[in-house]
Chains A and B, each alone.
Chain A
Amino acid sequence: MFKRSEQDKRPPVQIFVDGVAVAAREGDTVSAALLASSCDARRSTAVSGAPRLPYCMMGVCFDCLVTIDGVGNRQGCLVPVAEGMQIEIQKGKREIGK
């Protein structure tokens, strides 16, 4: 859906999405890295299970919710990627203990 401009010379950062290595760039938010990758990053809603992708990318819509390093319901658009970060696409509501 999105591609990176060639002028982007930021250093690479490796993250893992549901265990699969994904190349991101330093300064990407988790949501931007997911949308730039070829992963199916669609979460599913807590109410009906409908698939969603980020809508606003500015902290408003909560359609970017993901599990980051074991913590659920994080707004992926507000969290910068870090080397080795473990992302899980969140299906439905946050699980107890996550």
Chain B
Amino acid sequence: MLRKRNGLKLTAAAAGIAVLLSACGGNNGNNNASPSAASSAPSSGSAGATASSPASGSASASADLKPVELVWYLSESSVPADLPAVQDAVNKIAKEKINATVKLMVVGSGDYNQKMNTVIASGEKLDLMWTANWNFDYVQNQSKGAFLPLDDLLNQYAPDVVKSMPDYVWDATKIDGKIYAVPNYQTVINKEGFVIQKEYIDKYKLDTSTLKKFSDLGKLMETVKKGENAEYVYAMNRDGNFGNLARTYNLEVISGIAYINLNDPAKVVNIYETPELRDYYDTVRDWYQKGYINQDAATLKSKTDMQKAGKAIFGYDNVLKPGGEIEAKVKNGGKDMVYVPLTDAYTGTNTIITTMQAISANSENPERAMMFLNLVNTDKDLFNLLAFGIEGKHYTKNADGSIKLIPDSGYAMADWSLGNVFNGYTIEGKDPNVAELTKKSNEEAKPSPIMGFKFKTDPVSAEIANVNAVSSEYAPGLNTGTIAPDDNLAEFQAKLKEAGADKIIAEVQKQLDEWRAAQGK
């Protein structure tokens, strides 16, 4: 009898353990842990899940520095299979120079934002991380307190990095007067203009010098459309092109619907109320009705497939950079592309903060993290190792100093996501002068009058969500010319007002005024 009762107890105990586990399972959709499970779990009290490995090297050049391990989160298009081998090679250099090792945590770009939010919220060990204005938002996460201010660290440990970029680049990174991230220096300019397939310019003897403004393209498209009897000649997705041609209309975007006219940079305007946008809408409506634009534009997410098939004869881009025509050729199924710029090179906050490295606010070794950033941005061997992998294994070197990537070598990272790209090798087939031209165009570019101003969205986040909801209803149709602005724009504007557009504009204006006062303008 006793044995049997014990048996039942045992089953019940097993069931009890199982219950705890079920708490881990939680509901199937969210996979969340319940607090009961958290409290009953053995607590080790350690803060970091990944303990730093003790130094294994013997004598090092920097004997006075104690060995540390830095954790660096990066966003890449894929996680390279050979990452551990490259990490070992990186650590060899870093160990020798600053007695530090680095753990490279590569996350796919699509998952990066979510992953970083979790990592930061959980207080996991983290020293360096990639940030930008289009993924894992720089301003938003700074306001959450995720980053450390870097001004002093930069001056003390990385003076060469400070000098390697023009002052306006640093201005662009400032939030409330402080630098919170080091830009990965690359093209920081934008230049807007048409991208046209060369084949058709030659065939129809198109005179691109007549193109002075956006609507001028109509005449050229008419010729090609008639001559080729093509289904469409201008490739567009549901975003339309206004986002790429603000500068063509002498406007600059601040955030969402808030723009400034460069003739009066102190005044914030609602873009949907401007005559410039109306002009764009009328132009694309005309083109759409004449059949220049692909008919499915309003529902199309991406035009890359049209480009790949070589069907995008005309297009508009805001990143006409030195050497970009070669990249455009690859994108457009191997067709030669010609740039017809409509604006000068310009630069603004949004063209600069597209790729940066920040130091975590809870980093245990911020000094060493900055030393490491300094190395990445100044040590060419280290940078090339990170960007291209190990020589002989992932790339081979040519006699002229350029390199040839070995296909499917198991290592590929985007050089612009790591550090100063001007320290990198030239890849075979690319113009070696591009780097110099890019640097020059960076230095000559006209900085925006509101360089460094960043709109903090928190006070009007509800209005922004409402405005976005209204926009997603009307904007794709108007952006692509699918619906007529005469019938719909007034209604759209009224709904935007209802959604709180005026409140957003007022808030941006308030922040801009404060920022200008602080700048002494």
User: Do chains A and B interact in one complex?
Assistant: no
Q: Which residues of A contact B (CB under 8 A)?
A: none
Q: Which residues of B contact A (CB under 8 A)?
A: none
